[in-house]
């Protein structure tokens, strides 16, 4: 059987993400899917950004479980931009497009 590569290759999860997803290793695609399942199940999509109306459903409210992995997120993107969520607090929001940065910061 061929070795899995790229996005389908399992990666090791850091402790907080592993606890949330109840797995020690998963492919990136499965990590993202499970995070979205959690977000939808807990109705964390919102039409507001920190209390102000904006981008219906494209924002995620950070809850008590997500804050642990969100606060681990300080990464430099391929374009050189730094994504730093280390000071965000429960109840604040992030854009759904930033989930990839959160995943990158929480795998080994």
Confidence grade of residue 21 (pLDDT, cut at 50, 70, 90): very high
Domains of the chain: total = 1
* Residue 32 falls inside a structural domain: yes
Which residues, in sequence order, are bridge partners of residue 61?
93
Domain annotation covers residue 1 = no
Where residue 93 sits, what CATH number does that domain have? 1.10.245.10
Q: Is residue 57 part of a domain?
A: yes
CA–CA separation, 35 and 53 (whole Å): 24
Q: Cα–Cα distance between 83 and 65 in angstroms, integer?
A: 20
Distance between the two ends of the chain, CA-based, in angstroms? 25
Higher pLDDT, 65 or 5: 65
Residue 4 domain flag: no
Asked if pLDDT for residue 3 goes beyond 70, the answer is no
pLDDT at 1 over 70: no
Residue 76's domain comprises 10-105
pTM for the whole structure? 0.82
Question: What pLDDT, in 10s, does the model give residues 35-92?
Answer: 999 999 999 988 776 666 666 668 899 999 999 999 999 888 788 888 899 999 999 9
Residues ≥6 apart with Cβ < 8 Å to 37: none
- Asked whether residue 91 is domain-assigned, the answer is yes
Torsional class of 88: left (φ above 0), alpha (ψ -120 to 50), beta (otherwise): beta
Query: What is the chain's Cα-based Rg?
Result: 14
């Amino acid at each position: 059987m061929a070795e899995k590569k790229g996005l389908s290759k399992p990666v090791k999860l850091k402790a907080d993400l592993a606890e949330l997803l109840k797995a020690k290793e998963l492919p990136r695609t499965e990590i993202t899917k499970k995070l979205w399942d959690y977000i939808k199940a807990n109705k964390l999509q919102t039409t507001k950004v920190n209390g102000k109306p904006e981008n219906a459903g494209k924002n995620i409210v950070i809850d008590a479980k997500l804050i642990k992995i969100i606060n681990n997120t300080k990464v430099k993107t391929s374009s050189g931009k730094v994504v730093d969520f280390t000071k965000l607090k429960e109840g604040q929001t992030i854009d759904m497009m930033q989930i990839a940065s959160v995943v990158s910061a929480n795998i080994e």
